[in-house]
């Protein structure tokens, strides 16, 4: 289905899989986001005490990291490979298989970690491993066919390589939960695992996908695009050096490797933020919609987490509440909120294509923007921001009631957001006026 319409229409084209494949990933991701939000309320006292080593916290963390972030990225990759790299996914059936092993795998693994059940953990990791291997082969075969190997190609290759390292380190940590063979090295391996996962896997994939999506969403095709390449050139080696430094605590000529890695990663984040800024600055429509406001806010949180990182490193691994609040800021404020913003752009468009595309020109159809309520989207953004800032402050000041109250606000944001996605997928349109049959397609997509 070729789409001759500009802007968002670039999200679908010949070779994109049926919407069922990304759709099932996005639906499961929302369920995990909801579970994670409830989990935050549950683990609030642990968070306030800086007990990030508690199994409860680790279980809840993976609802966000594997269930929400990784699941959404998988769905986005299936949808965007043809659009961004000009190749279709090698096997749609393998994509479904990967989904049906990954989703139960994450649920079993996260509950096995949270409730200290070794059996659930093992079955969960087994399923997750099968799903990730299947995805790696499927995406790897598609990437091999790409002719124009640009920065998006490099970002996806880098991201999936770091996902493999994440899985290996995660499996090591899970085995350690059973037999404790890592001893004192546990925290160092854990710190390496979470940085490789959050920066090397999630942030790099976000950078690659945003390189295509942000200019499309912002109608900012005149902006310079060289900063994503620079960001990747700093972050990819930076994560390797940082990971080695955190794992080994090694020094070369008196200089800590971790600091070298951190400086490289920070430089990469600055380049990524610069690229995003250029896209926002060059936008054709001055007024930002709700999705882009979520994304812009998340970029501010990402900048704050990056600013906090050197302070966290200076304090070493003993300042548990500072460490917890730093991960919370980066994971919920930077990465998770950014993905919520992208959801607000991508999912309504795909739902519109599935539900109304064939009716365009024949009967009245709503615009994409009318599929959800901008007012509710802005309220959920407010709840997310209050929740994240409140949890951050509550953890730093060791106040469990503040953390729990803020986690409730965050959960409120998730409920509103999820209700919007359900409405987009199944409900009627919002708004007073629906365009007449003669409305040009480009307006309906606006």
In the complex, the residues that contact ligand HEM under the rule CB under 6 A are 52-53, 57-58, 61-62, 65-66, 69-70, 113, 125, 128, 166-167, 170-171, 173-174, 176-177, 186, 190, 193-194, 197-198, 201-202, 327
Q: Which is nearer to ligand HEM, 278 or 339 (CB)?
A: 339
Using a 10 angstrom Cβ sphere, with 0-12 exposed, 13-18 middle and 19 or more buried, the burial of residue 2 is: exposed
Tokens 């064939």 appear where? 358
The nearest distance, CB 139 to ligand HEM, in angstroms, is 15
Q: Which is nearer to ligand HEM, 11 or 57 (CB)?
A: 57
- Rounded to whole angstroms, the Cα distance separating 342 from 346 reads 6
Under 8 Å between Cβ of 409 and 41: no
Q: How far apart are the first and last CA of the chain?
A: 20
Q: Which is nearer to ligand HEM, 81 or 197 (CB)?
A: 197
Q: Which is nearer to ligand HEM, 308 or 379 (CB)?
A: 308
Q: Which is nearer to ligand HEM, 186 or 274 (CB)?
A: 186
DSSP states of 212-261:
HHHHHHHT-TTS--HHHHHHHHHHHHHHHHHHHHHHH--EETTEEHHHHH
Tokens representing 200 are 């090397």
Residues in the chain: 446
The nearest distance, CB 305 to ligand HEM, in angstroms, is 12
Q: Which is nearer to ligand HEM, 12 or 342 (CB)?
A: 342
The nearest distance, CB 367 to ligand HEM, in angstroms, is 35
Q: Which is nearer to ligand HEM, 105 or 341 (CB)?
A: 105
The nearest distance, CB 92 to ligand HEM, in angstroms, is 23
The nearest distance, CB 406 to ligand HEM, in angstroms, is 18
Q: Is the dihedral of CA 99, 167, 86, 219 positive or negative?
A: positive
Distances in whole angstroms, Cα of residue 320 to Cα of each of 46, 54, 157 = 11, 12, 34
Question: Which residue number places its CB atom closest to ligand HEM?
Answer: 170
Tokens representing 48 are 């306030």
Of 118, 124, 120, 122, the C-alpha closest to 103 is: 124
Long-range contacts at 401-410 (CB < 8 A, ≥ 24 apart):
402/48, 403/44, 403/45, 403/47, 403/48, 404/41, 404/44, 404/45, 407/37, 407/40, 407/41, 407/44, 408/41, 409/383, 410/37, 410/40, 410/332, 410/383, 410/384
The nearest distance, CB 138 to ligand HEM, in angstroms, is 17
Angle at 272 between CA 193 and CA 75, to 5 degrees: 60
The nearest distance, CB 194 to ligand HEM, in angstroms, is 4
The nearest distance, CB 6 to ligand HEM, in angstroms, is 34
The nearest distance, CB 100 to ligand HEM, in angstroms, is 17
The nearest distance, CB 204 to ligand HEM, in angstroms, is 11
Q: Which is nearer to ligand HEM, 4 or 183 (CB)?
A: 183
The nearest distance, CB 155 to ligand HEM, in angstroms, is 16
Under 8 Å between Cβ of 1 and 25: no
Task: Name every residue whose Cβ is closer than 8 Å to that of residue 331 and which is 6 or more positions away in sequence.
Answer: 61, 64, 65, 198
Q: Which is nearer to ligand HEM, 55 or 366 (CB)?
A: 55
Q: Which is nearer to ligand HEM, 162 or 279 (CB)?
A: 162
Of 360, 348, 374, 376, the C-alpha closest to 434 is: 360
Under 8 Å between Cβ of 81 and 141: no
Q: Which is nearer to ligand HEM, 12 or 336 (CB)?
A: 336
Tokens representing 312 are 């966290």
């Amino acid at each position: 289905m070729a789409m001759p319409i500009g802007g968002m229409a670039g999200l679908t084209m010949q070779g994109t899989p049926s919407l069922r494949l990304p759709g099932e990933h996005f639906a499961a991701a929302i369920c995990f986001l909801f579970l994670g939000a409830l989990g935050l309320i549950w683990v609030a006292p642990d968070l306030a005490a800086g007990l990030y080593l508690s199994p409860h916290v680790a279980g809840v963390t993976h609802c966000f990291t594997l269930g929400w972030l990784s699941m959404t990225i998988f769905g986005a990759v299936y949808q965007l490979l043809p659009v961004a790299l000009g190749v279709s996914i090698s096997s749609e059936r393998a994509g479904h298989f990967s989904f049906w092993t990954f989703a139960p795998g994450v649920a079993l693994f996260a509950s096995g970690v949270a409730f200290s059940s070794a059996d659930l953990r093992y079955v969960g990791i087994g399923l997750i491993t099968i799903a990730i291997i299947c995805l790696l082969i499927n995406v790897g075969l598609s990437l091999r066919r790409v002719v124009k190997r640009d920065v998006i190609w490099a970002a996806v290759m880098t991201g999936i390589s770091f996902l493999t390292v994440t899985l290996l380190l995660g499996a090591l940590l899970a085995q350690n939960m059973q037999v404790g063979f890592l001893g004192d090295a546990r925290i160092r391996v854990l710190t390496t695992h979470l940085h490789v996962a959050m920066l090397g896997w999630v942030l790099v994939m976000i950078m690659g996908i945003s390189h295509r999506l942000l200019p499309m969403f912002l109608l900012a095709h005149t902006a310079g695009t060289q900063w994503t390449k620079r960001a990747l050139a700093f972050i990819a080696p930076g994560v390797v050096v940082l990971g080695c430094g955190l794992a080994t605590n090694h020094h070369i000529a008196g200089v800590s490797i971790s600091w070298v890695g951190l400086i490289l990663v920070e430089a990469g984040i600055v380049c990524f933020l610069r690229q995003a800024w250029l896209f926002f600055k060059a936008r054709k429509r001055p007024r930002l919609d709700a999705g882009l406001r979520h994304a812009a806010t998340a970029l501010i949180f990402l900048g704050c987490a990056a600013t906090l990182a050197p302070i966290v490193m200076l304090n070493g691994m003993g300042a548990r509440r500072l460490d917890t609040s730093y991960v919370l800021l980066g994971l919920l404020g930077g990465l998770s909120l950014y993905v919520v913003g992208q959801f607000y752009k991508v999912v309504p468009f795909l739902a519109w294509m599935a539900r109304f595309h064939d009716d365009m020109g024949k009967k009245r159809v709503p615009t994409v923007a009318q599929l959800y309520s901008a007012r509710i989207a802005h309220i959920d953004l407010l709840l997310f921001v209050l929740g994240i800032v409140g949890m951050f402050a509550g953890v730093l000041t060791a106040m469990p009631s503040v953390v729990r109250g803020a986690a409730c606000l965050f959960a409120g944001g998730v409920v509103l957001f999820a209700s919007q996605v359900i409405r987009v997928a199944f409900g009627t349109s919002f708004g007073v006026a629906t365009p007449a049959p003669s409305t040009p397609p480009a307006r309906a997509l606006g």
